[in-house]
Structure formats: C-alpha cells, structure tokens
Amino acid sequence: MTTPTRPARVRARVPRQADVKLAVRWGIRQGLPAVGMKLGARSGDLFARLNADPALQKDPFPLYAQIRAQGDVVPGRYVYTAARYGVVSELLKSDAFRSGVPDEALPAPLRRALAWAIDPRAQPFTERPAMIMTNGAEHLRLRKVASRGFTPKAIDNLRLRTIEIADHLLDELDEAKHRDGSPADLVEEYANLLPVLVIAEVLGVPAKLQETFLGWGDRILQIAAFGVPFRTFLDIEDCLREMNTWLLGHFDYLRANPGENLLSRMVAASDAENATGNGLTETELMANAGLLLFAGFETTVNLIGSGALRLLAHPDQAKLLRDEPERWRNAIDEMLRLDGPAQFTVRHSQVATELRGVPVPKLRMIICLLAGANRDPAVFADPDRFDITRANARDHLALGAGVHFCLGASLARLEGEVALSRLFERFPNLAAAGAPTLGPNAALRGYIQVPATLGLG
Ligand code: HEM
C-alpha cells in the first residue's frame, strides 16, 4: 500500500520589493493618466479622443480646426486644450503655467509612494530634472550649463560635418542598390541616419553606436503616449536603464578625454560651475544629456522625412528651391509650420486662474496644440497650403516659444536644410514611388517610410 501524499501546497509567489516598486511607478505615471484619458474620451473630450483613436491621429488637422472653432481654451473633463495661435503662444510664455507635472498634482500618499518607488537608473528624461520639465531658477541653471555646448560657433562648426555626413549617405544611396531604378526609402536609408550621425558628433561618441541609439529611440519613443500598457512600460524602463548607465560611463570618458564636442563642453562647464555650487549633479547631467540625445534625433528625422514628402508632392516648389537656393531657410520653416514633428506640449496651471475669460482651476493640465496653432487662419493665410515663400513662415510655434524655446533649434534647422538641399540637388529627378507610411505616434508626427525613385540614368 502506498502512503497517500498530500498534494504540495501551491504557495503564492510573494512579489519582490522591486516588482512592487515597478507596479507603483507604472500605476502612478501611466495607469492614472490612462484612466483619465479614457474617462475624458467617453465624456467627449476632443483631445482625449485623439489620444485614443489611431484613425484620428492619421489626419488630426480637422480635429484641431474643430478645437480652434470652439474657442481659445476648450475645457474638458481630464484636460483643457488650446489650439489657437494667440493663446498657445501666451501659454508658452506665461509664468502662470508651468512645465512638468507639479508635485502637488498628486495626492500626498501617492507622492510618497512614488518617491519610495523611484529607480534612479530608470529615470526618464521626460521628467524632472530634465530641463524641459523644470521651471524658474532650476530651469535657468540647467539650461545655462547645456547652452555652453550650443553656441552659434559650435553649431556653425557642425555645418561642414553635417554636409559631409549627408554627402556620404547620398553616395551610398547613389552607388548601391538603386541604380536599377528600384525605389529607395528616404526615411530608412537617409532621414533616419543623418540626425543620429550628427548627434554622435554632438555627444562625442563613435558613429558605430548609431544602431544602438536608433534602437533606444524606437523603444523610448513609446513614452510619448499618455498611459502606456504595463509591458511597454517595462521595456521603456529597461531601455532607460541601459541608456542612463551608458551616459554615466560616457561622462567619465569625456572627463578623461575632453573633446571639441558639445557634450564635452557641457560636462566641463558643469564641473567648473560645481566650484560655485551651480553645477549639475550626475542625475541632472544624465537626464539632460538623455534629453539632448533623444530630442537630437527623433524629431529631426521627422522634419527631414515630412519635408522630403512635401517637396515630392510640390515639384514647382522644389524647382523654385533649385533656382533660388537662398529660399531654403524659409522653406524649412514652412515645413516646420505645416508638419511640425512635435504636435503638442503640455503646461499646468500653478494657481486657479483665468485664461482669455475661461476659468482654469489650480493644477489643471492644458494641452498646447502647437500644430493647431501653426494652422490658425487668423495668423497664416490659407494655412493648409505649402508655400515656401510665405512671409511669416518663421512665426510658427513648432519649436516652442518663451523660456523653453527649443535649445537645439539652430541645429534642427541646419540639419533640415543640409539634408534636404543636398538630397534634392543630388537627385533632381527624385520622384515619389507609392504611398508613404505614417508612424504611430500622436505626439511626435512623422513618416516611417517615404518611397521614392532617384531618377538615375
Ligand atoms: C525638428 C526638430 C525639433 C523640433 C520640432 C523640436 C521641438 C521642440 C519644442 C516644441 C520644444 C519646447 C517644448 C516645450 O516648451 O514644452 C523643444 C525644447 C527642447 N529641444 Fe527641441 N526640437 C527639435 C530638435 C531639437 C534638437 C536637434 C535638439 C538638441 C540636440 C533639441 C533639444 C531641445 C531641448 C534641450 C529642449 C528643452 C529646452 C528647455 O526646456 O529649455 N531639440 N524642442
């Protein structure tokens, strides 16, 4: 007779502290906004609907026009939205509305939980202390140090190098697979590569790291949505950990091997300022270098891809640029106005206030639709028309305004101009070859495929 054995008791796995912290981080940073957006979408918030609906994201411009038609500020259940030029510009310049989520926006117990759960190595550059999310004296201090690397002379020095990079990529396009007339993908084979190679120069890293950067970019980009699912959040955090660890090691490398690159200057400036207590901590350096790395290529790729597409669709404008190349600068601004990669940015009211007659409660999130403001007919005549001769094209808000105005604006314009002018000069018979594919991100708009024949032979 066999002795009966008691079935082993299945013991529930006790979650490790690290798992609990992860769940807390996801719940507060992503779960709560996701619920807010869902409720908002159900109650008809136009912006919340946009966030939830991929079909609307394909062509959001009629929705932006609808929001503009409703007034300066459109109150919603979860967020307020602004899409008219005047009020968006005012919001970006106003001290009453701040960048980043204010600490007080979270109830005290959640704030404490988040502080407990923080993982410094997975710190996203979309949060404090990345300068884009800071305010007042803190913002000034961070921006001052980073600006040391972005002097007009430093940017000018990058022009020649950017031309070399563009020409090298175009040689590869020219020589390789497309001699037989098969279409090239202008994003995959060109727009994707140029900014990442330029940012490698800016950061003083070997160009061979470009694939790693591109991989990080694709994974981290998902953070731009409101309320990402848990698995995606896991992946984003893993990637942030990899990137932040690499950055910290790279600062040490630059300290030992200072070079003529922008990040070297930024690290040196911070170390020098440390003598007076105004330098950056390693965490601040890490968050801001991460911001530069990411902002440095994800946005510009989209400017080049969308700009190429515009010129393919408007051969008359491409011809005008060939005949009068001095128009390139304005053309890039017109592309930014019409197809700005950053569709919106966010501000929060500091106190209960009024914006153009609309009461705004304290700590309310306001979506500033930059791309909506850039098509406001009150400022830009016939706003959906692509016109490289438009006199006020440069007034667009695609690079922001006020104290947070894009630190890399000159670099972005330079890269856009060099990339597109070299492309269209090298291949005067460049022609669209099939439908382009739009990327899936509502916040950062751009194409992931733009097929074109080079018109060789
Ligand atoms: C077409 C390309 C680009 C676009 C459309 C763009 C757009 C923007 C916008 C709209 C803002 C303001 C955000 C706000 O006010 O909340 C901003 C800020 C910023 N951008 Fe760019 N950007 C581009 C390229 C770059 C490049 C190439 C870099 C650096 C290499 C860069 C670095 C930054 C930084 C550091 C800030 C934060 C500035 C601050 O908070 O003071 N950007 N960008």
CA nearest to 163, candidates 429, 431, 423: 423
* pLDDT tops 70 at residue 5: no
What is this structure's pTM?
Answer: 0.93
3-state secondary structure of 246: helix
* pLDDT tops 80 at residue 457: no
Beta bridge partners of 354: 359
**Per-residue confidence at 10, pLDDT binned at 50, 70, 90?**
very low
* pLDDT tops 90 at residue 18: no
Nearest CA owner, ligand 1 atom 13: 400
**Per-residue confidence at 157, pLDDT binned at 50, 70, 90?**
confident
Centre of ligand 1 from the C-alpha of residue 300, in Å: 10
* pLDDT tops 90 at residue 218: no
Nearest CA owner, ligand 1 atom 40: 132
Retrieve residue 83's tokens: 């899409």
**Per-residue confidence at 4, pLDDT binned at 50, 70, 90?**
very low
* pLDDT tops 80 at residue 6: no
Q: Using one digit for the tens of pLDDT, what is the confidence trace for 270-302?
A: 888 888 877 889 999 999 999 998 888 889 999
Retrieve residue 113's tokens: 């939980």
Q: Which of 406, 407, 415 to mutate to test the pocket of ligand 1 (most atoms within 8 A of CB)?
A: 406
Q: Which residues contact 197 (CB under 8 A, 6 or more apart)?
A: 165, 169, 207, 210
CA distance 377 to 393: 13
Angle, nearest 10°, between helix axes 230-256 and 210-220? 140
CA distance 195 to 203: 12
Give the atom of ligand 1 at the shortest distance from the alpha carbon of 202.
Answer: 30
- Phi, psi at 449, each rounded to 5°: -145, 130
Centre of ligand 1 from the C-alpha of residue 338, in Å: 17
Nearest CA owner, ligand 1 atom 18: 406
Q: Which residues contact 426 (CB under 8 A, 6 or more apart)?
A: 170, 174
Centre of ligand 1 from the C-alpha of residue 21, in Å: 31
Q: Which residues contact 254 (CB under 8 A, 6 or more apart)?
A: 204, 263, 264, 267
8 A C-beta contact, residue 122 and residue 244: yes
List the domains of the chain with CATH numbers.
22-453 (1.10.630.10)
Q: Using one digit for the tens of pLDDT, what is the confidence trace for 337-374?
A: 999 999 999 999 999 999 999 999 999 999 999 999 99
Centre of ligand 1 from the C-alpha of residue 252, in Å: 26
Centre of ligand 1 from the C-alpha of residue 315, in Å: 30
CA distance 382 to 399: 21
How confident is the model over 321-337, as a mean pLDDT? 98
Rg of the chain over Cα atoms, rounded to whole angstroms, equals 24
How confident is the model over 331-337, as a mean pLDDT? 98
8 A C-beta contact, residue 73 and residue 356: yes
Q: Using one digit for the tens of pLDDT, what is the confidence trace for 34-92?
A: 888 888 888 888 888 888 888 888 999 999 999 999 999 999 888 999 999 999 999 99
Q: Which residues contact 121 (CB under 8 A, 6 or more apart)?
A: 240, 241, 244, 245
* pLDDT tops 60 at residue 32: yes
How confident is the model over 235-254, as a mean pLDDT? 93
8 A C-beta contact, residue 457 and residue 312: no
